[in-house]
Amino acid sequence: MTEGEEMTRRVTMDDLRRALEEGSGVDEGVNLDRDLKTRAFSDLGYDSLAVLETGLRLGRENDIEIDDSVFTDLETPQQLLDAVNHALERQAAAS
């Protein structure tokens, strides 16, 4: 970090894993510790409603409002993580 640069909060893959588990549970045979970074939501047993709920949950937990449409076409956990962190960065820049 350079001088004058503020540290921006980040949501981690662990935060995403917890939000998925708390909000939608985990299908039998899925290991989120191993599979979350490499598999699509559909392969993990999560539908678009689970993705939306998880994204909105992470937004609430981090005091950011994210439009529902942001979550419509996300296919992977990394894409969801990137969307939430992008919203956090926009909020920090606007402050």
Kindly state whether residue 50 falls inside one of the protein's structural domains. Answer: yes
Kindly state whether residue 68 falls inside one of the protein's structural domains. Answer: yes
pLDDT digits (tens, 9 = 90+) for 73-94: 999 999 999 999 999 999 989 8
What total number of domains does the chain contain?
1
Report the pLDDT value the prediction gives residue 90, as an integer from 0 to 100.
92
Residue 37 has pLDDT above 90, yes or no: no
Domain of residue 49, residue span: 13-94
Kindly state whether residue 3 falls inside one of the protein's structural domains. Answer: no
Residue in 6, 24, 28, 7 with CA at minimum distance from that of residue 16:
24
pLDDT digits (tens, 9 = 90+) for 45-80: 999 999 999 999 999 999 998 999 999 999 999 999
We report the CATH number of the domain holding residue 36 as: 1.10.1200.10
Q: How far apart are CA 79 and CA 23, in angstroms?
A: 18
Q: How far is CA 14 from CA 2, 6, 39, 61, in A?
A: 27, 23, 15, 14
